[in-house]
């Protein structure tokens, strides 16, 4: 190590910066301050070599630390140093330092430099400062593939797909050829746009037409888009045609199968992946655990947990959050809490996952207690965390506490409530029978009610037999989701419960005219490490006769103990 340091110092003294960068790999422990303090000469060129050396080798923290040190000594950074540091700020999501560098660029007259401006766009976009990213981008006299791709990716990753698509069209008009990273970003944006499948298909054709390399990033983004559109067969064809499948492609397919409730297919692909010697990543484990949670297959989830522990990934915060989510969805909330308690590092995501687990498991009070512990631990709750807290209030029926937490968002944490939090409050008011209050809240929101809010409101109207408000909610849903059969069924059941059979017939006619039919309901159950799938009136299972006999016996036992069915909460058959 001493020999390597001496060689680096010698190279820096003679300004052999390219040689000194290569020598970084010979130092086991790279300390920015010790190297800087031992410099024979502290000039811009030697500092540039060290900063770029750290950055290229992924040591972002040391690169930024070294940069701050050289600024403290009054050494003026070169353009290359500033570009490298901005790239490091992007990776570290250090918007504060990036903004300081931006001010320095303006002060020394570098703001029109193409590469530095592109790096600034990338920084602001990754830090979700889209207004700043747009301002820098619009102020550039010329654009390159990096600046176009950065602005497209920034809007796409922040759920603003339509704007990302507008930028992409602008890029095509400027005759700058999109690269593989551009297409990976725009495929991600497709998921936020209506007619996503048609758009993704057109972009797929454009990739082929322009001769853009179909690498793992492009293919995985396209697979993800097809999967989110429900075009599973398209995704499978794309995966099967891919040459040299790597972990990125396997992860995209496993995640897609998990999102589409095809846990068995996800598991098969995971086994195939391991047979080919491809090691799983944190994302692989998260997707598999999501599949297990969605299907409530506890034994498979436990197997994955064992593998995670064996591979030493049981302290990764991303994986731990997925484990908590899986155990909660499988109804084993106490096991989820054990995983949570054993985690050394706890961030907002993990706290929120555990609060959500309590809420969904019918233990809203425990979820709220955990939120208070989160606050005492010095964590700052975000919008997602408050959504979980309000969900806990909904499931526990805590109206007053829900109102208090909703007000707390803005009054204590300066968080302006977003649609998700308003949706929780509308649901909470509705479930407690305060339908007029729920309607009033929707009317005074700073945005239009969405389909989730109207669906929740319609469900509450059905529970409480509120015909007029229910009709209004249903008509709103028919206008924005005419293809969704659920509001039709809910409205028909609302009419049926109060004996309005003519109106039930009219709803059935509407469904028939629109070609809407009830989807067959399915459920999964895991017995002896095997998952069994059942559907309504299903007789395909080899033990169906025994199952129905057991069900009849259970119904008889329930009646003998005094159980009385409540027809009000039964969905009437409105098949067309």
pLDDT tens for 96-130 read 888 888 998 888 888 888 999 999 999 999 888 89
Distance CA 370, CA 291 (A): 26
pTM of the prediction?
0.69
Q: pLDDT band for position 576 (50/70/90)?
A: very low
Distance CA 260, CA 282 (A): 20
pLDDT tens for 32-66 read 455 555 555 555 666 666 777 676 666 667 777 77
Residue 111: Cβ-neighbour burial (10 angstroms; 0-12, 13-18, 19+): middle
3-state secondary structure of 372: helix
| Average pLDDT of span 189-209 | 85
What pLDDT does residue 128 have?
84
Pick the residue with more confidence: 370 or 569?
Answer: 370
| Average pLDDT of span 3-25 | 45
Q: pLDDT band for position 21 (50/70/90)?
A: very low
pLDDT tens for 138-156 read 999 999 998 999 999 999 9
The single-letter DSSP state of residue 570 is S
What pLDDT does residue 40 have?
54
Distance CA 23, CA 30 (A): 11
pLDDT tens for 386-435 read 999 999 999 999 999 999 999 999 999 999 999 999 999 999 999 999 99
Distance CA 428, CA 397 (A): 7
Distance CA 494, CA 565 (A): 18
What pLDDT does residue 3 have?
38
Token pair listed for 302? 């436990």
What phi and psi values does residue 379 have, to the nearest 5 degrees? -80, 150
pLDDT tens for 254-278 read 999 998 888 889 989 999 999 999 9
> Residue 44, Cα to own-chain centre: how many angstroms?
42
Residues 6+ apart with CB under 8 A from 155: 125, 130, 161, 163, 164, 167, 189
């Amino acid at each position: 190590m001493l020999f390597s340091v001496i060689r680096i110092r010698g190279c820096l003294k003679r300004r052999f910066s390219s040689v000194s960068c290569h020598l970084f790999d010979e130092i086991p422990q790279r300390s920015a301050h010790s190297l800087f303090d031992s410099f024979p000469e502290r000039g811009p060129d030697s500092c540039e070599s060290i900063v770029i050396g750290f950055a290229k080798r992924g040591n972002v923290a040391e690169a930024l630390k070294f940069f701050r040190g050289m600024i403290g000594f009054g050494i003026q950074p070169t353009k290359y140093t500033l570009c490298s540091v901005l790239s490091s700020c992007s990776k570290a999501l250090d918007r504060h330092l990036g903004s300081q560098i931006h001010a320095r660029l303006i002060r020394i007259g570098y703001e029109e430099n193409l590469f530095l401006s592109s790096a600034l766009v990338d920084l602001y976009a990754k830090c979700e400062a889209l207004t700043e990213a747009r301002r820098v981008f619009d102020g550039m006299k010329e654009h390159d593939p990096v600046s176009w791709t950065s602005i497209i990716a920034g809007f796409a990753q922040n759920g603003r797909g339509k704007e990302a698509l507008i930028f992409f069209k602008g890029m095509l008009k400027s005759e700058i050829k999109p690269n593989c990273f551009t297409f990976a970003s725009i495929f991600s944006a497709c998921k936020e746009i209506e007619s996503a499948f048609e758009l993704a298909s057109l972009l797929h054709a454009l990739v082929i037409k322009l001769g853009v390399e179909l690498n793992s990033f492009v293919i995985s983004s396209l697979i993800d888009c097809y999967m989110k559109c429900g075009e599973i067969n398209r995704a499978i064809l794309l995966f099967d045609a891919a040459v040299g499948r790597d972990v990125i492609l396997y992860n995209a397919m496993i995640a897609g199968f998990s999102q589409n409730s095809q846990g068995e297919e996800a598991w098969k692909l995971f086994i195939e992946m391991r047979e080919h010697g491809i090691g799983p990543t944190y994302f692989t484990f998260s997707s598999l655990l999501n599949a297990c949670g969605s299907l409530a297959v506890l034994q498979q989830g436990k197997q994955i947990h064992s593998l995670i522990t064996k591979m030493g990934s049981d302290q990764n915060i991303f994986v731990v959050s997925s484990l908590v989510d899986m155990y909660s969805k499988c109804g084993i909330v106490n096991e989820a809490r054990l995983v949570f308690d054993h985690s050394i590092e706890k961030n907002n995501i993990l706290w929120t996952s555990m609060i959500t687990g309590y809420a969904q498991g019918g233990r809203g009070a425990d979820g709220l207690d955990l939120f208070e512990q989160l606050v005492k631990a010095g964590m700052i709750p975000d919008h997602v965390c408050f959504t979980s807290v309000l969900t806990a209030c909904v499931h526990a029926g805590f109206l007053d506490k829900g109102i208090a937490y909703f007000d707390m968002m803005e009054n204590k944490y300066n968080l302006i409530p977003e649609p998700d939090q308003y949706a929780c409050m509308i649901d909470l008011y509705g479930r407690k029978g305060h339908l007029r209050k729920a309607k009033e809240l929707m009317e005074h929101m700073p945005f239009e009610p969405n389909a989730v809010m109207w669906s929740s409101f319609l469900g509450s109207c059905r529970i409480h037999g509120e015909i007029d408000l229910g009709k209004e909610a249903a008509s709103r849903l028919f206008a924005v989701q005419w293809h969704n059969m659920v509001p039709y069924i809910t409205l028909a059941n609302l009419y049926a419960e109060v004996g309005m059979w003519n109106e039930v017939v009219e709803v059935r006619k509407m469904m028939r005219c629109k070609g809407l039919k009830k989807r067959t309901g399915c459920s999964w159950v895991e017995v002896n490490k095997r998952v069994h799938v059942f559907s309504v009136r299903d007789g395909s299972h080899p033990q169906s006769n025994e199952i129905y006999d057991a069900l009849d016996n259970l119904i008889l036992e329930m009646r003998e103990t005094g159980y009385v069915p409540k027809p009000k909460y039964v969905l009437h058959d409105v098949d067309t």
